[in-house]
Structure 1
């Protein structure tokens, strides 16, 4: 048979029952077990008997049971319960739930001591309040009606003053609430503006970084352009001091043949120059005279120079006839052919340029040009003339005439370089 366990109502700790009370509870349960009626008794009869004794809750208990367990027990006190005990438990539970019976709650010793101290404190406070109330009543009995009215008037005036103060404070509280709401709205607006400014600042930083990167790229590009400009200026200064004519055209008159840009002009029996080289030399010579005329601004009469490399020619302005400055050696040296007339026409153009120079600058050339006979005369030497044509002419005299012509062009080239490029 299991013993009943009680818990403290406050701390929920198990209560320790004294051995004497436990022995008394055990004997009462055994006596109840031997004296219990048959389980076959009708439930309705016992319930009516218990209901008739509902106002005497201790009537169905023994003295020992009432002494050892004055509390209401819920649950199964032992494994061997009778029908009477079950009915009693159900009835007591119903009375407790419906409020017809006060339930005593068990407490441990510590909780009981604390409860007693709390009750003593409350009792002391109640006695103090009672004494204050008695003294107030005694004082009130000694006060006259006039003093009471004066006191009431004073208290009423003080109450009105307090009410006014309360109204003022209430208004101030409302003003403070309104101000607080306004400040809170301003704070929210300021926070929103602050967030917007932070976003704007972040965007500005990104834009600044992009512009800084672009500035660095532009700075590098500017430095590169400045370096290129400095290099180009140096090149320009160098080129401005360079004689482009002397670099483009190089004439050598030493030896039996005249040479222009490494092409030999003419041939002698000992040096049989190919006609392709002679034609290329005539193309360079025609290009030189054409360039000098453009620089000097001279427009040739009767003829037009057409420099085309080793197939250069002179165009007659009178009849649109093409006078050749190239040959393959098949021309007839016994007749006045286009090749001879082309070289004679070139001497005519050269003579026009020399006349312009003599008028403007008084330039003196060592070899005088005779256009009608197609001859070049040595003005400083023997005064002998040499024909530039191949008609009824030897290779030696033809080569000397071409060399004299190149010598005159060399002096004209030096004059043009000194006039048009030395001042830059």
Structure 2
């Protein structure tokens, strides 16, 4: 049978009688797939594998413990034969052909009236691949296509919507900005979106890959400047979901790390909108890592705090062995350093400022609690930036020699 002789289609077997002849491992796999499709499965075989017995004992299928008889085909819509005996399989196929019942002959694909494809399901898309009777080749292609769909590399977005259907909202953490640091789930949901409500930060290059009719709504904020108030952002999410759209709120970092994602999720739930939260790689940890700075390190720091303003610094441990990560803190950098000094942080504690983490023009400025404000002003440091305070800064390969930490001093 040549591949051009195959007419691809899909069978709806929900509630229909299906016969499986054979009860070995192959037959068990086929029976389970048929059960997943909602078929009423009868297995005929003198002996059965443990898998078939378990399905029978659970009442999910009916096992008839005897050899095949042609009368088994009465009232059957579809037949799968997998006895491992070519003679028996051929007889079943011939009987099915005579009765005009579609059948799959696992022993001889060339003589089979139908072929079973390699199948995968991604969301509500079912992929079925035939590869000229070569099942391993079909599985390899299926897996590649499924992976491409799961990672958003193939167009998965719906173009038909059910009338009156309610949409949904996904709060997607896009990570620190690099397109490859968004999660697989986040990339998939972005590829499905009808509406994207986008922050100023995050993997914005991915917006260029969206279909032209995907609506992108810009709601980006900068420190002290919120052109779209949070209340309006909440309303935008609900409004478009109520119209049946799949809405993605694409945020930088993680939605729940100083990103007001909790407020947005609660607002959606209060208005009956299904909401999914997709964690992201928070800039509080990833941006320091881009400069070679771990927020914790054995023998150097065993904990860290993340804050957004100098007023909060009096509440965190003022010790070089407890890392302080300051977000959105460039404008109040001098006040923050004074607050740390007042709380007891040693003046020579190292500080790093990482601007535009993971971007091609990433820049790192390293000093101490008493020197960093003047250094930042001289260098023209700007947001987006992450400020790291603590001895972990000494581990950065970019740290000046007078601040570097030796390997021996970190081992205990």
Instruction: With the length of structure 1 as denominator, give the TM-score of the two structures.
Output: 0.15
Larger Rg: 1
TM-score normalised by the chain length of structure 2: 0.15
Q: Identify the structure with the greater strand proportion.
A: 2
Larger fraction in helix:
1
